Structure 1
């Protein structure tokens, strides 16, 4: 009888302890499962630090040799004009001439000048300010007998920002701080405290034009996603 009472007592104590363990254990699980997912955004406006400026020169003629001679003269004038206005020869490259025989294109029924020749002179430089100054002065080339095509897609100026690695660390830090600020606000609003990081993901950096009117000003953007534990 005594043994039975002893066993019953031990069993009761065990059940109480088991209940306490389960209570605190489940409590910890519930706390750990309370997670808030937040995002932090960092944005900056930067000046383009590299520009690619294609200048497309076109000419037409019924004589192929005349068309090629005209292309060569035009290319030389373009190159001399660019160097005269401060661009380095190493930043200027000439593409291969392209010849279109419009007689064959229209099965011999074309009545205009037969050959259309074009060639692209490309400026690739970090002197963005100089290129921006020269673009409005292209009329000087027209006065020299060199008409630059502005309608071709290949003639569009491309502004680039190549120094992303210099601002990456600061932007990641800023995005992370903004994510934590959002997490702390959520924790306060829910009567909780922000705990440790469960998971974090850094998004890709996005570089885009600020707007269509100022393609030489870029907007750099990155979003960091972080999951925090919430504690009591």
Structure 2
């Protein structure tokens, strides 16, 4: 065999060895990655906190009506007088001017006709509204009951139920995320202990949305002052021997 043939055989041997080595590396790397992927535990962490609403919205509507012969100007004067009495009671009870916003007075003319479309009666109706937006959430229910005095005096008032809102979620987010993460690790430790392994670092974490619900309610977050805030996080931990 000449020198040229020996060189060809040598090069072929070297290339074959390199190919086997590279293939072995990728197979080994694949097995390692598969092992890392398998040795994980996905758990959920829960955090809950009881809070109180810090903002209330409350609307009062009042109505003045009269027959078709009643001058509308007189009805407007009475409507404005009723509004003044309602606002005065609200302010005297502890609310500030900036928290009380009287709205416009809406006017509607109603006609009542018989089967032959003959006009039987006309009525004028004026409906006004007063909006209260306040941080004094506990005061709202107290003042609502006081409006009954004006109703007893003849005012036509619709005392709508207030809505209560919690607006300080950003202030409690870090604490709740930390608590949920800690609870997730507790669950992972229990899982690892049962499996005879240990919990390592975090491979992946997904934060769920914050859910606010009125205490004792499955749905809704505006009826009660007391509310529950809930957060569930999903975390995948590495498991080590």
TM-score (norm 2): 0.78
Partners of 2:213 and 2:80 lie apart in 1 by 37
For the residue of structure 2 that corresponds to 1:102, the secondary structure is strand
Partners of 2:118 and 2:89 lie apart in 1 by 39
Contact residue 57 and residue 148 of structure 1 kept, 8 A = yes
Contact residue 57 and residue 134 of structure 2 kept, 8 A = yes
Partners of 1:44 and 1:134 lie apart in 2 by 29
Inter-CA distance 66–110: structure 2 relative to 1 (3 Å threshold): farther
Gaps of 5+ in 2: 1-5
Q: Residue 106 of structure 2 aligns with which residue?
A: 98
1:117-174 Cα distance to aligned partner (Å, 9 max, x none) = 2111111111112212222222122234323214xxxx23011111112211111111
RMSD of aligned residue pairs (Cα, Å)? 3.3
Partners of 1:46 and 1:65 lie apart in 2 by 49
Partners of 1:120 and 1:187 lie apart in 2 by 62
How many angstroms does 1:218 deviate by?
Answer: 1.1
How many angstroms does 1:19 deviate by?
Answer: 9.9
Q: Residue 159 of structure 1 aligns with which residue?
A: 164
For the residue of structure 1 that corresponds to 2:111, the secondary structure is helix
Partners of 1:136 and 1:122 lie apart in 2 by 16
For the residue of structure 2 that corresponds to 1:138, the secondary structure is helix
Gaps of 5+ in 1: none
How many angstroms does 1:67 deviate by?
Answer: 2.8
Paired residues for 1:1-232 under 5 Å: 25-34=29-38, 35-62=40-67, 63=70, 64-103=72-111, 111=120, 114-150=123-159, 155-211=160-216, 215-232=224-241
Partners of 1:188 and 1:201 lie apart in 2 by 24
Aligned residue pair count: 222
Inter-CA distance 19–126: structure 2 relative to 1 (3 Å threshold): same
Contact residue 32 and residue 231 of structure 1 kept, 8 A = no
Q: Residue 3 of structure 2 aligns with which residue?
A: none
How many angstroms does 1:17 deviate by?
Answer: 8.0
Give the number of the structure whose residues are more often strand, by fraction.
2
Looking at CA atoms only, which structure, 1 or 2, has the larger radius of gyration? 2
1:59-99 Cα distance to aligned partner (Å, 9 max, x none) = 21123323322221111000101111111111100111122
